[in-house]
Amino acid sequence: MGNEIGQKIFNYIALLKKTNDELVNTLKECVKLLDQFIESVPDPEGWRNLMEVFKETIQIGERMTVEKTLH
């Protein structure tokens, strides 16, 4: 029974990792699209700051995938 619970936990963690990977990929695509609008927004500096936050988030997500961090 302990092994079954361990396997379920492992499967859950693997699913979370896959979900994180998909979210990071989706955010990357969104940032690519949003980068095109910097010239037409009312607050370009605020827009750049927002894009930097998104890019930092992507880097963290990618680093977690590469390092395969499990807690």
The answer to whether 61 touches 24, Cβ cutoff 8 Å, is yes
Looking at the predicted structure, is the pLDDT value of residue 27 above 90?
Answer: yes
- Distance CA(22)–CA(29), nearest Å, equals 11
| pLDDT at site 28 | 96
C-alpha radius of gyration, the chain, whole number: 17
What is the model's pTM?
0.77
Contact 27, 57 (CB under 8 A): yes
| 31-47: pLDDT as tens digits | 999 999 888 999 999 99
